[in-house]
Amino acid sequence: MNTPLGIALIGCGTVGGGVARLLLEQSERLAARAGRPLALRRVVVRDTEKPRPAALPRALLTTDLQQVLNDPSVQVGVELVGGVDWAKQAVLSLLEAGKDVVTANKALLAQHGAEVFDAARRHGRAVAFEASVAGGVPIVAALAQCLAANEIQSLQGILNGTCNFILTSMTEKGQTYADALAEAQRRGYAEADPTLDVNGTDAAHKLAILVQLAFGLAVPVDAIERRGIADIDALDIRFAGELGYTIKLLAETWRMGDKLALHVSPVLLRKQAPLAMVRGAYNAIHVVGDAVGDALFAGRGAGQMPTASAVVADLIDLAVGRAQKTFETLKLWSARTQAPPLFPSASVRTRFYLRLFVEDRPGVLADVTRVLANHHISIASVIQHEAPEDHEGGRVHLVIMSHTALTGDFRAAVAELDRLQRVVPPSVYFPVED
């Protein structure tokens, strides 16, 4: 029998519980794939009395990380705690104690990747993080290994399962935003603080990781402009549908000469577009590389077992010795890496969807079109319904689709429209991608 790989789970909640189940219930299958047993030695949690997976021996539970650090039979610490401060300290301690690390913590890597990776190099250890982006979708391995021959030109992804689940539920079932979010939390998709999901920060964390993998560049998370989904009204979903579009929260990055453009935003996509058809908690990433052309990766982006699948794949890679080689050759994140020059979002050219709530009186449409024209924005189509449900107190929803315009011009136009007396601010606008 080959020497087992000794594993400690730091955190045994949604994802950790799934990893424990795989390790304990599929041990023969995993040993065959890894060439040696994957042995679960310890499980660190906050509260040892909470219910855990049935197969987990209670004797493995502890609240004391030090027991893992001091245990020579543990070679790998799997950080599945979440948050940044305690998790960072735990990961640095594991590395210092000579343990390799597997983590699903995108917030930690996006904010402190350089510190964590420099520490791993200093201690001769490896960090593996397949589960940190897109749950069960193997996008980290795809970028790090399978697409290594390419110069990546762009990435466009649905990277937050919670948001995609909420938007799908609102679109297809007419569910309210609050009900859909509560269901996403019940199903274990959301972060402990779901604000990070719905305000676009979680997707920005994942985008920062993908940028590091695809371009070798370290984008500060604060530099990623982001909008979330909390402001999307059922009305916008209905109007987008009428126009032949679906609203998705996209994280996107592309090269613009020697600069990098990137953002997280709700976007109107044609209903037939491949990413528009990604439903529920599924994620998908569209990658364009100079040799491969287009490649699309899709699958379950959040939830217990899909994420555990990615974590255990990293453990098998460590057991085999592949992850250590990948870690060493990729040379990801370092304090010496420069932040890339970013393409200003105001200079991005795109079409826009705009919804205004205006007084239903003579001259209002003329006022609106004059402001748009003054900012060089050409109108592609206009919708204003007569139906009573589109009117309220003498006001009506007015939806305008623009031709391609500069984002800076469009933002300036909306700011001016919102100052008109006969427009009720704030007006709602999203980019449109055909």
Residues that bind ligand NAP (CB under 6 A): 11-16, 44-47, 50, 80-82, 86, 104-105, 131, 135, 188-189, 191-192, 302-303, 307
Closest contact distance (angstroms) between CB of 301 and ligand HSE is 5
Sort strands 100-103 and 76-79 into parallel, antiparallel or unpaired: parallel
CB atoms under 10 Å from CB of 252, counted, come to: 20
Distances (CA, A) of 340 to 9, 115, 238, 255, 337: 35, 18, 39, 11, 9
**Site for ligand HSE contains 266 (CB under 6 A):** no
Q: Which of ligand NAP, ligand HSE, none is residue 15 near (CB under 5 to 8 Å by kind)?
A: ligand NAP
Q: Which of ligand NAP, ligand HSE, none is residue 86 near (CB under 5 to 8 Å by kind)?
A: ligand NAP
Closest contact distance (angstroms) between CB of 302 and ligand HSE is 4
CB 261 within 8 A of CB 345: yes
Return the structure tokens found at 49: 């009395």
* Closer of 302 and 368 to ligand NAP (Cβ): 302
Catalytic, 206? Answer yes
**Site for ligand HSE contains 138 (CB under 6 A):** no
The CA-CA-CA angle for residues 222, 223, 227, to 5°, reads: 80
Sign of CA dihedral 240, 294, 310, 149: negative
**Site for ligand HSE contains 160 (CB under 6 A):** yes
Q: Which of ligand HSE, ligand NAP, none is residue 188 near (CB under 5 to 8 Å by kind)?
A: ligand NAP
> CA–CA separation, 220 vs 53, rounded Å?
38
Closest contact distance (angstroms) between CB of 200 and ligand HSE is 11
The CA-CA-CA angle for residues 341, 342, 347, to 5°, reads: 135
**Site for ligand HSE contains 135 (CB under 6 A):** yes
Nearest to 246 by CA among 67, 432, 17, 406: 432
Q: Which of ligand HSE, ligand NAP, none is residue 44 near (CB under 5 to 8 Å by kind)?
A: ligand NAP
Kindly tell me which residue out of 77, 113, 161, 340 binds ligand HSE, with binding defined by CB under 6 A.
161
Nearest to 395 by CA among 430, 431, 355: 355
> Which residues does the annotation mark as catalytic?
206
Instruction: By CB under 6 A, name the binding residues for ligand HSE.
Output: 135, 160-162, 189-191, 197, 202, 301-302
